[in-house]
């Protein structure tokens, strides 16, 4: 049997292996009792910023669920600390920025420092997790894409459709451009440093980019994304993640990520038609179906595999993060099903 890391990395090169690799966004938190027990003793920030605890949580799902990749336990907001942006993670709300940005001087004051200085706890955790995982599982590093980071910096908190951001882009395009240029530089350093520390792949979370229309994305976001991906091209394969963004998919592919994560709204076959066969695809089971009775979940998962059509560049995942009420037993069963019925297995 092929090891998880090799199975996963083969898919990122669109090469065949013994079966389809699988992992889940948010696999390390929320639904695992072992994680909840740790959370009773430590805050989220303590878990993420203490290297030993971060390694523990990062590796949990490989043991419990049998997934082929571990994702570093962190948050997209962490590198903002090094930029001099004060924020807190509020229980039940999410990240809240103390002083949302709106003026040129505020954007000019953002600091660009080395990633090792901004998030010193992260890189020892990546080195230790890489060592602990061996060939059992690949290690995925990640960061927020510049647009999604800018959403929090400008809006100040999560939002359904980020109206302040959409106003700023069009009324103050120079401020916007400056902000995106700074965030692109910070992201490039942050993700490169994760690759150097041992992340095999990095995922760029552009969770909220789907709020934009196509023209705004093309003019005000895509050029920055393209520059960021160019900086990473020869260092590490990148998975670009977004949701509700089918209307942007051709522009996303043109920006140049090696792999694209697709949510449940678009069938995988159709998505592949847009991004081209030389890119790998990740996805795309609806996370809500993990809460359904097993026969329903099983049928939906087999449907995803059938949409992938046995192509070698498929990484099975949900279309967004694991919902907190998901049962670990159900997730484990899903992993086993994907391995049993994935590409390359007799049907
Ligand atoms: O839910 C948990 O796993 C608990 C730990 C936690 C994380 N972030 C881990 C994380 C908590 C409490 C946060 C705070 C936070 N940060 C929130 C609110 C809480 C929540 O659970 O959603 C939000 C919305 C953020 C901002 C954020 N972080 C975004 C938009 C993303 C991109 C993914 C997405 O959901 O669209 C993240 C990434 C993130 N936060 C990861 C982890 C472990 C990514 C890695 C992974 O997929 O496991």
Structure tokens at 155: 């809006």
Is ligand 1 within 6 A of the CB of residue 95? yes
Identify the domain containing residue 140 by its residue range: 4-341
Asked if residue 142 is part of any domain, the answer here is yes
Asked if residue 128 belongs to a domain, the reply is: yes
**Ligand 1 contact via 121 beta carbon (within 6 Å):** no
- Total count of residues recorded for the chain: 347
This prediction has a pTM of 0.97
Evaluate whether residue 127 is within a structural domain.
yes
Where helices occur in 67-110 by DSSP H, the ranges are 78-82, 104-108
In a domain, 347, yes or no: no
Strands (E), 10-161: 69-71, 87-90, 94-97, 138-144
pLDDT digits (tens, 9 = 90+) for 181-195: 999 999 999 999 999
d(CA 27, CA 103): 38
Residue 129 belongs to some domain of the structure:
yes
Query: How confident is the model at residue 347, as a pLDDT?
Result: 65
pLDDT at 346: 76
Q: pLDDT tens digits for 144-170?
A: 999 999 999 999 999 999 999 999 999
Residue 149 is assigned to a structural domain of this protein: yes
Number of domains forming the structure of the chain: 1
CATH code, domain carrying 307: 3.20.20.210
Sequence-distant (6+) residues with CB within 8 A of 242 are 145, 206, 207, 209, 210, 248, 252, 261, 263
State in Å: Cα 75 to ligand 1 middle. Answer: 6
Give the confidence band of 29 by pLDDT, cuts at 50, 70, 90.
confident
Report yes or no on 346 lying in a domain.
Answer: no
What token pair was written down for 304?
Answer: 């995803």
Report the nearest-CA residue for atom 12 of ligand 1. Answer: 44
Average pLDDT over all residues of the chain: 97
Greatest alpha-carbon pair distance for the chain in Å reads 61
- Tell me whether residue 211 is in a domain: yes
**In which residue are the tokens 């695992």 written?**
32
Q: CA 333, CA 336: separation in Å to the nearest integer?
A: 5
């Amino acid at each position: 049997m092929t090891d998880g890391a090799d199975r996963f990395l083969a898919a990122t090169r669109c090469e065949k292996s013994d079966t389809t690799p699988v992992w889940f966004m948010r696999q390390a938190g929320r639904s695992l009792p072992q994680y909840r027990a740790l959370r009773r003793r430590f805050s989220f920030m303590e878990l993420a910023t203490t290297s030993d605890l971060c390694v523990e949580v990062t590796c949990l799902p490989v043991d419990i669920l049998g997934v082929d990749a571990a994702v570093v336990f962190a948050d997209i907001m962490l590198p903002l600390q090094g930029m001099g942006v004060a924020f807190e993670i509020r229980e039940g709300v999410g990240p809240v920025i103390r002083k949302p940005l709106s003026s040129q001087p505020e954007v000019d004051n953002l600091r660009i420092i080395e990633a090792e200085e901004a998030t010193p706890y992260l890189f020892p955790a990546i080195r230790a997790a890489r060592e602990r995982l061996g060939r059992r599982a690949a290690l995925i590093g990640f960061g927020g894409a510049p647009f999604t980071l800018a959403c929090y910096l400008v809006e100040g908190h999560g939002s359904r459709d980020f109206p302040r951001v959409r106003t700023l882009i069009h009324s103050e395009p120079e401020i916007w451009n400056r902000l995106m240029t700074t965030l692109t530089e910070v992201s490039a350093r942050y993700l490169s440093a994760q690759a150097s520390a041992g992340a095999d792949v990095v995922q760029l979370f552009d969770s909220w980019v789907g709020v934009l229309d196509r023209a705004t994305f093309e003019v005000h976001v895509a050029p920055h994304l393209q520059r960021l991906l160019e900086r990473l091209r020869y260092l590490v394969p990148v998975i670009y993640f977004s949701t509700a963004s089918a209307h942007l998919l051709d522009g996303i592919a043109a920006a140049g990520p090696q792999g694209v994560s697709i949510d449940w709204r678009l069938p995988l076959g159709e998505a592949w038609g847009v991004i081209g066969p030389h890119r790998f695809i990740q996805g795309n089971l609806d996370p809500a179906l993990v809460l359904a009775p097993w026969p329903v979940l099983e049928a939906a998962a087999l449907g995803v595999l059938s949409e992938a059509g046995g192509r070698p560049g498929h990484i099975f995942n949900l279309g967004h993060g694991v919902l907190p009420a998901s049962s670990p037993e159900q997730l484990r069963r899903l992993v086993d099903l994907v391995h049993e019925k994935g590409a390359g297995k007799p049907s």
